[in-house]
A and B are shown apart, each in its own frame.
Chain A
């Protein structure tokens, strides 16, 4: 089935049931494409079921969503929580936004990591490997979305971030947050399919959505895509990150390395030969001329 036919039949079947329940069937159809998640913020009711499901799945701090009042202030993900939901008062009323790692197509954190502990997997999720990590926190410095978090108060700290439930996907299951979402605000699928679904929603309801899909181009494209009724800068998103994939920033420098590593020694050897005044070799000794003396020991 090509993509056009797939879209035709699935869109006809209705927006909510777009994605097959078996993750592995999805991957068979597009073995070469990344998976991703589409967030439609117009559907999110701020119930924070995703926060709870995430915490339970990863055996982490489970927030008390009924009474902790956490929606009062915008929060960031932390070393205790892979994902959080924030509430924003906008020109179109209150809007809830789930935030977590964006799983960039070309991840800054993965290219920053000196040991490949941060790794962009072939399926799409960016995951962390504690056996490789040296704890340098260069991933935190490099991530344009400020996602990786560090356990500062542990003697054996971990880098903490959303894994897109990489382990559950391997078992053929959807990410826990997607499964927990009661309103289909979250949709798991192949990223290119998600992009077409997102475009379709904008075209079908041009007055309901702003005509931008956050994550389509940001930082070169991300696995998570967002739809919104209001401009994204009202929802706590940085809109100044540009379209350049972040590893591109260091690519020129890294490309120059082999040229310098071999070009400069050749140049220096030539300079050294040119600077030869025809004096005895003893002059290139480290230290003084033999006749110069100094303090005798």
Chain B
């Protein structure tokens, strides 16, 4: 019976601890709050109209453009940018590269939150979100559907990422036994997570395979799944550099001086990885271009736009990463990371929105409401990220 009481008192301790931690901390009038609170409130009002009067009330979606910013940016782009989690966990747990240990927790947290919020944003875009559980339950399995696969992989990956992060939560709640157990299953969940990431990163590309007659030939390829997977690697690495740089400024009081210094070395390693994957991606793009004999498409407006993406935001940042790595220039690397991220945004939006239905007279462009809701999702994610890192040992270890 004493065991029983011990569990009960432990549960009550954890419960009270969480209640205490839920209270807000720190000053309210920070620049981020001043910007993000109005965005979130406006976004909520827009969502009321969206669910009351339908998607047409707040979006510019049309019969010819069934997917817009919420699908093209929040889901297709957001998931690519969250690719850092599977790349880093692969390096640290599978390949046992200890150098990146200190960024694992923040990266996994970012990946997990990104999937929660971007997967959550999908609910705004679904016309009948109350049926969102249908792919998971009952006799409704669309086995032949790429989207069915992605639904399942999103859900499973979120579980895997949560388990990968859970030792931090156990540490925060001071649950030593749980922490040891969760730590022991980390390798298995990492392997599951890497495999699922490989499949759904490429699966997001496979979504557009059947849209062959609608997407401009420069952006449609039967190898889009491979391109999406390869580019998600450098998207993730660039995002770690970008997000890590901001975190090291915004949360510098949480980070041990030793890790501040180690981060520069980590950035150089990430830059090298990004440069290599970007060159591979570029060569693959070039081979596809030559193989498909698309020379006559280049001297058009679409061709110039394609060159902006592939030369301006893939090849040039790839050289900048390589140059920055060789000459130990953090500034060049950080600029390259931003350019590479813009290149990913450009590529995903080109495939899913801009070059989709390129022949149509009426073009899609997002409404201000779609943009506000997208910003709301990003702000809400940052809020939760900030809440977690201010309480849990994300940037530091307590044991």
Contacts and interface: CB of A to CB of B under 8 A. Distances in A.
A132 B105 CA distance: 39
A52 to B, nearest CB: 22
Contact of B209 (A133, A152, A253, A289): A253
A284 B128 contact: no
A174 interface: no
A134 interface: yes
B54 A155 contact: yes
A287 B105 contact: yes
B102 interface: yes
A182 interface: no
A269 B208 CA distance: 32
Contacts of B207: 138, 141
Interface in A132-159: 132-138, 140-142, 144, 146, 149-157, 159
A150 B66 contact: yes
A130 B211 CA distance: 24
Contacts of B147: 112-114, 136, 138
Interface string B158-191: 0000001101100100000000000100110001
Label chain B's interface by main secondary structure.
Answer: helix
Contact of B397 (A76, A110, A292): A292
Contacts of A286: 104-105, 108, 164-165, 167-168, 183, 186
B9 interface: no
B259 A294 contact: yes
Interface centre among B52, B135, B140 (most CB of A within 10 A): B140
B254 interface: yes
Nearest to A288: B397
Contacts of A242: 212
Contacts of B90: 268
Contacts of A285: 167, 183, 186
Interface in B199-219: 199, 202-203, 206-214
Contacts of A272: 93-96, 187, 191
Q: How large is the interface on B (under 10, 10 to 19, 20 to 34, 35 or more residues)?
A: 35 or more
A152 B396 contact: no
Nearest to A296: B398
Nearest to B55: A152
A10 B135 CA distance: 47
B198 A146 contact: no
Contacts, number: 233
A46 interface: no
B199 to A, nearest CB: 6
Interface stretch (B57-65, B237-245, B305-313, B380-388): B57-65
A94 B148 CA distance: 45
Contacts of A283: 96, 98
B140 A116 contact: yes
A226 interface: no
A14 interface: no
Nearest to A135: B127
B210 A142 contact: yes
Contacts of B134: 114-115, 117, 132, 134
A275 B259 CA distance: 25
Contacts of B78: none
Interface stretch (A57-65, A186-194, A203-211, A256-264): A256-264
Given A114-B151, A155-B51, A297-B398, A142 B194 contact: no
Given A254-B146, A269-B191, A287 B213 contact: no
A240 interface: yes
Given A114-B142, A137-B66, A264-B194, A276 B126 contact: no
Given A114-B151, A134-B132, A286-B186, A264 B198 contact: yes
Given A113-B142, A260-B199, A290 B399 contact: yes
Given A247-B144, A254-B149, A141 B132 contact: no
Contact of B210 (A114, A155, A246): A246
Contacts of B183: 284-286
Contact of B195 (A112, A146, A268, A293): A268
A140 B63 contact: yes
11 contacts: A133-B127, A144-B212, A146-B64, A150-B63, A253-B206, A253-B209, A261-B199, A275-B94, A283-B98, A294-B398, A295-B254
Given A130-B128, A260-B198, 12 more contacts: A111-B142, A111-B144, A133-B127, A135-B131, A138-B145, A138-B207, A150-B66, A151-B127, A155-B53, A253-B202, A286-B164, A294-B395
